[in-house]
C-alpha cells in the first residue's frame, strides 16, 4: 500500500510544494493522483502556489510597493499573501472597519444608507447577524484560511425539514404553514408513484433491461416511500397528526395532501434550492460572526491598513500608480504610490472614481450590473421558534416579499434570539429596499407573523440592509448578463497597465468570499510573475 499512502510527517501542502519545486505542477498532479487525492476541489486548492518567500530578496527586487484599494476579503488576502513574500503593501479603506461586505451587525453598529437616515443596531450584547456572507461551503478556499488562522467555526444550518413552507394564492394549501418534511414527502411520494407506473409503459420506451427497470422501481419505492403496490399513501417521513410516544401510543400518521393540492402549492420548486452546488450541506460559519474571518486577516496586517481613506482618483505613470484619497477624519487629500495597484472596489463604486483606465476598461466597468439583496435582523425576547416550534436553525421559505426567514444557527436555547426576518433578492429586495427602515421592519413583522404569530409579542429590535444603498458597495454582488462574460469580462481580467482588479466580481464564484480570495491569489501570482520577469 506504500504508494497509496498520504504524507503525514509534513503537511500535504508542504509535501506538494516540495514536489512542485522539484518537478513542477504536472508532478504535483501526478503525485496527488497516486495518493488518491485527485478530486477537482483538491486540485483547485492545490492550484495556488504562493510567491516564494525569498524570491524578492534573492533577486534583488526588494521594496516593491503595492497599493491595494479596499480592505475586504480580496484586498486583505492580497496584502497577506504579498506580505509573506516581502512586498510592501498598503491598503486604503474608506470605512472605519475592514471586511467590506463581510459585515456582522451587532449592538451599536451604525449605518446610513444612501439617501436614507442613520440607523443604529439596538441589539443586546452577543446578538448579531451577518449582513453580508453568512455561510461557507466546506470545500471553499475560505476554509483553508479559517484552518490556517484557527478561526473557530460551527455548522450553518442550511437545511431544516422541521421549518416551514408558506405560500399565498396557490390553491388549496394557500396561507398554511406546512412543515417542509410534509411537502417533501408528498412531492416525492406522488412523483415516485407516477414514475413507478410509467416505467413499464411501452409508450415511454425506456432504454433499460427488465432487470434495470426493476432496480429503478426499487429506487422509486424507496425514494417515494411507496407501499407494496407502489402507491403513495403517506409515510412517517412527512410527520404525524399525533406523534408516537410511549406505551400504547403508536401515533397517527398525517394524511398526505392531495396530489393536486401539492402540485398547485408550488412547494416542490423549493426543494431544489437545497441541491445547488454551493448550498448543499454541510455549510459552516465562524462562531460569533463572519467578521471573525476578516478580523483574522486584519490582525495579520498590522499597520498596513489605512482606514477612513476614500479613494478619489487612480493615476498611472509608466511604472507606477498614484492613488489620490481623502482622509475622512481630517478632510485632507492624500496620495499613496505603488509599483502596482490592486483595486478591489466594487465596479458599481469604481465607475464613479476618476481613473485613467483605457477606454475599453472604462466601458467594461461602466456596463456591469450588480444584484439587489436585502436582509433584516429581528431580535426577539424569546426563541419561540425553538421553544414553541422546535426549529433549530435553517429557514422557512415563502412566496411573500420576505422570501425567507432564517433562524439563528448559533446560541441554541439562549434566552433571546436574532433571526433574519427576510433575506431576499431582485424585485423583492428592491421593494423592501425602497422603504424606510421603519416600514421594512413593519413589513417584515406583518408578513413574518403569518408564519410566526409570536412575532408581535416577542419583537424587540431590528436593523435592515439594502445592499444597493450601502455606501462603498452599491450592490449585493456582481451580476453579469447576456454575453458579458465573453465580451467585457476578459477586459476586466487583464491588468490596465499596473492596475489589477480583484474581488468576487473577478471570478466565477461570484457572491462568495471564495471568489474574492481566489481572485486575489490570481492577481498576487500575476504581479509576482511580472516582477520576477522584469
Interface of this chain with its own copies, residues 411 to 440, rule: CB under 8 A: 412-413
Q: Which three cell numbers stand for residue 42?
A: 483538491
Contact 406, 398 (CB under 8 A): no
Q: Does 6 bind its own copies (CB under 8 A)?
A: yes
Residue list 491-520, contact with its own copies (CB under 8 A): 493, 502, 506-509, 515, 518-520
Q: Compute the distance between CA of residue 422 and CA of residue 451 in angstroms, rounded to an integer.
A: 12
Residue 174 CB, shortest distance to its own copies, in Å, is: 15
Q: Does 203 bind its own copies (CB under 8 A)?
A: yes
Q: Compute the distance between CA of residue 445 and CA of residue 412 in angstroms, rounded to an integer.
A: 22
Give one DSSP letter per residue of 142-191, joined into a string: HHHHHHHHT--EEEE----TTSEEE-SSSGGGTT--EEHHHHHHHHHHHH
Q: Does 247 bind its own copies (CB under 8 A)?
A: yes
Residue 460 CB, shortest distance to its own copies, in Å, is: 11
Among the listed residues 149, 38, 25, the one whose alpha carbon sits nearest the alpha carbon of residue 517: 149
Q: Compute the distance between CA of residue 107 and CA of residue 99 in angstroms, rounded to an integer.
A: 18
Stretch near its own copies under the rule CB under 8 A, chosen from 89-97, 100-108, 306-314, 453-461:
453-461
Q: Does 366 bind its own copies (CB under 8 A)?
A: no
Q: Does 43 bind its own copies (CB under 8 A)?
A: yes
Q: Does 212 bind its own copies (CB under 8 A)?
A: yes
> Which of 12, 65, 416, 530 forms a contact with its own copies (CB under 8 A)?
12
Cα angle: 100, vertex 105, 111; to 5 degrees: 70
Whether residue 282 is preceded by a cis peptide bond, meaning omega within 30 degrees of 0, is yes
Stretch near its own copies under the rule CB under 8 A, chosen from 20-28, 135-143, 328-336, 367-375:
135-143
Q: Compute the distance between CA of residue 460 and CA of residue 421 in angstroms, rounded to an integer.
A: 13
Q: Compute the distance between CA of residue 434 and CA of residue 116 in angstroms, rounded to an integer.
A: 10
Q: Does 115 bind its own copies (CB under 8 A)?
A: no
Q: Does 231 bind its own copies (CB under 8 A)?
A: no
Q: Which three cell numbers stand for residue 505?
A: 466580481
- Comparing CB distances to its own copies, the nearer of 15 and 370 is 15
Residue 444 CB, shortest distance to its own copies, in Å, is: 15
Torsions phi, psi of 59, nearest 5?
Answer: -110, 10
Residue 516 CB, shortest distance to its own copies, in Å, is: 9
Q: Does 219 bind its own copies (CB under 8 A)?
A: yes
| Residue keyed to cell 478556499 | 141
Contact 485, 499 (CB under 8 A): no
Among the listed residues 298, 14, 23, the one whose alpha carbon sits nearest the alpha carbon of residue 151: 298
Residue 140 CB, shortest distance to its own copies, in Å, is: 8
Q: Does 246 bind its own copies (CB under 8 A)?
A: yes
Q: Does 334 bind its own copies (CB under 8 A)?
A: no
Stretch near its own copies under the rule CB under 8 A, chosen from 88-96, 150-158, 305-313, 345-353:
150-158
- Comparing CB distances to its own copies, the nearer of 32 and 92 is 32
> Which of 229, 243, 331, 483 forms a contact with its own copies (CB under 8 A)?
243
Q: Does 481 bind its own copies (CB under 8 A)?
A: no
- Measure CA 449 to chain center: 27
- Comparing CB distances to its own copies, the nearer of 336 and 397 is 397
> Which of 26, 96, 115, 150 forms a contact with its own copies (CB under 8 A)?
150
- Comparing CB distances to its own copies, the nearer of 276 and 358 is 276
Residue 487 CB, shortest distance to its own copies, in Å, is: 13
Pattern 256-275, binding to its own copies, x per CB under 8 A? ---xx--xx-x-xx-xx--x
> Which of 186, 298, 466, 522 forms a contact with its own copies (CB under 8 A)?
522
Q: Does 41 bind its own copies (CB under 8 A)?
A: yes
Q: Does 122 bind its own copies (CB under 8 A)?
A: no
Among the listed residues 407, 472, 469, the one whose alpha carbon sits nearest the alpha carbon of residue 440: 469
- Comparing CB distances to its own copies, the nearer of 146 and 321 is 146
Residue 499 CB, shortest distance to its own copies, in Å, is: 15
Q: Compute the distance between CA of residue 522 and CA of residue 171 in angstroms, rounded to an integer.
A: 51
Residue 524 CB, shortest distance to its own copies, in Å, is: 11
Q: How far is CA 24 from CA 16, 17, 29, 193, 249, in A?
A: 10, 9, 9, 54, 67
Residue list 266-325, contact with its own copies (CB under 8 A): 266, 268-269, 271-272, 275-277, 280-282, 284
Q: Does 37 bind its own copies (CB under 8 A)?
A: yes
Q: Does 157 bind its own copies (CB under 8 A)?
A: yes
Task: Give the burial string for 162-173 (b: 16+ CB within 10 Å, else e).
Answer: bbbbbbeebeeb
- Comparing CB distances to its own copies, the nearer of 57 and 457 is 457
Q: Does 389 bind its own copies (CB under 8 A)?
A: yes
Among the listed residues 332, 247, 286, 17, the one whose alpha carbon sits nearest the alpha carbon of residue 152: 286
Contact 331, 341 (CB under 8 A): no
Residue 7 CB, shortest distance to its own copies, in Å, is: 8
Q: Does 401 bind its own copies (CB under 8 A)?
A: no
Q: Compute the distance between CA of residue 362 and CA of residue 351 in angstroms, rounded to an integer.
A: 7
Residue 284 CB, shortest distance to its own copies, in Å, is: 7
Q: Does 25 bind its own copies (CB under 8 A)?
A: no
Q: How far is CA 378 from CA 129, 155, 504, in A?
A: 9, 21, 28
Amino acid at each position: 500500500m506504500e504508494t497509496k499512502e498520504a504524507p503525514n510527517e509534513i503537511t500535504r501542502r508542504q509535501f506538494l510544494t516540495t514536489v512542485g519545486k522539484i518537478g513542477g505542477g504536472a508532478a504535483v498532479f501526478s503525485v496527488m493522483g497516486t495518493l488518491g487525492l485527485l478530486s477537482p476541489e483538491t486540485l483547485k486548492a492545490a492550484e495556488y502556489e504562493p510567491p516564494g518567500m525569498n524570491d524578492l530578496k534573492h533577486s534583488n527586487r526588494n521594496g516593491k510597493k503595492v497599493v491595494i484599494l479596499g480592505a475586504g476579503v480580496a484586498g486583505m488576502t492580497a496584502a497577506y499573501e504579498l506580505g509573506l513574500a516581502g512586498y510592501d503593501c498598503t491598503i486604503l479603506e474608506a470605512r472605519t472597519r475592514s471586511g467590506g461586505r463581510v459585515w456582522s451587525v451587532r449592538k451599536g453598529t451604525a449605518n446610513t444608507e444612501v439617501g436614507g437616515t442613520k440607523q443604529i443596531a439596538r441589539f443586546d450584547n452577543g446578538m448579531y447577524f451577518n449582513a453580508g456572507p453568512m455561510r461557507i461551503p466546506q470545500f471553499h478556499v475560505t476554509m483553508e484560511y479559517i484552518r490556517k488562522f484557527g478561526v473557530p467555526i460551527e455548522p450553518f444550518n442550511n437545511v431544516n425539514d422541521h421549518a416551514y413552507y408558506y405560500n399565498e394564492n396557490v390553491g388549496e394549501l394557500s396561507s398554511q404553514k406546512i412543515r417542509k418534511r410534509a411537502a417533501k414527502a408528498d412531492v416525492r411520494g406522488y412523483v415516485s408513484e407516477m414514475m413507478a407506473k410509467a416505467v413499464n409503459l411501452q409508450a415511454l420506451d425506456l432504454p433499460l433491461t427488465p432487470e434495470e427497470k426493476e432496480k429503478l422501481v426499487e429506487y422509486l419505492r424507496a425514494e417515494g416511500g411507496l407501499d407494496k403496490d407502489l402507491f403513495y399513501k403517506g409515510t412517517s417521513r412527512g410527520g404525524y397528526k399525533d406523534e408516537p410516544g410511549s406505551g400504547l401510543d403508536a401515533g397517527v400518521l398525517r394524511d398526505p395532501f392531495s396530489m393536486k393540492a401539492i402540485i398547485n402549492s408550488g412547494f416542490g420548486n423549493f426543494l431544489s434550492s437545497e441541491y445547488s452546488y454551493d448550498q448543499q450541506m454541510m455549510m459552516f460559519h465562524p462562531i460569533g460572526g463572519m467578521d471573525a474571518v476578516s478580523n483574522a486577516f486584519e490582525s495579520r496586517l498590522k499597520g498596513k491598513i489605512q482606514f477612513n481613506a476614500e479613494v478619489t482618483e487612480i493615476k498611472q505613470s509608466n511604472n507606477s500608480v498614484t492613488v489620490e484619497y481623502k482622509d475622512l477624519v481630517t478632510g485632507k487629500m492624500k496620495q499613496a504610490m505603488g509599483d502596482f495597484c490592486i483595486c478591489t472596489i466594487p465596479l458599481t463604486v469604481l465607475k464613479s472614481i476618476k481613473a485613467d483606465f483605457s477606454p475599453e476598461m472604462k466601458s467594461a466597468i461602466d456596463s456591469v450590473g450588480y444584484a439587489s439583496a436585502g436582509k433584516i435582523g429581528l431580535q426577539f425576547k424569546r426563541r419561540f421558534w425553538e421553544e414553541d416550534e422546535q426549529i433549530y436553525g435553517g429557514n422557512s421559505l415563502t412566496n411573500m416579499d420576505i422570501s425567507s426567514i432564517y433562524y439563528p444557527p448559533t446560541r441554541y436555547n439562549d434566552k433571546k434570539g436574532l433571526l433574519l426576518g427576510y433575506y431576499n433578492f431582485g424585485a423583492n429586495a428592491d421593494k423592501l429596499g425602497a422603504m424606510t427602515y421603519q416600514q421594512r421592519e413593519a413589513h417584515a413583522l406583518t408578513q413574518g407573523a403569518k408564519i410566526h404569530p409570536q412575532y408581535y409579542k416577542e419583537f424587540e429590535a431590528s436593523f435592515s440592509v439594502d445592499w444597493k444603498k450601502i455606501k462603498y458597495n452599491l450592490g449585493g454582488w456582481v451580476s453579469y448578463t447576456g454575453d458579458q462574460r465573453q465580451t467585457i469580462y476578459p477586459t476586466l481580467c487583464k491588468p490596465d497597465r499596473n492596475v489589477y482588479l480583484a474581488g468576487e466580481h473577478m471570478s466565477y464564484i461570484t457572491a462568495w468570499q471564495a471568489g474574492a480570495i481566489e481572485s486575489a491569489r490570481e492577481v498576487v501570482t500575476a504581479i509576482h510573475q511580472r516582477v520576477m520577469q522584469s
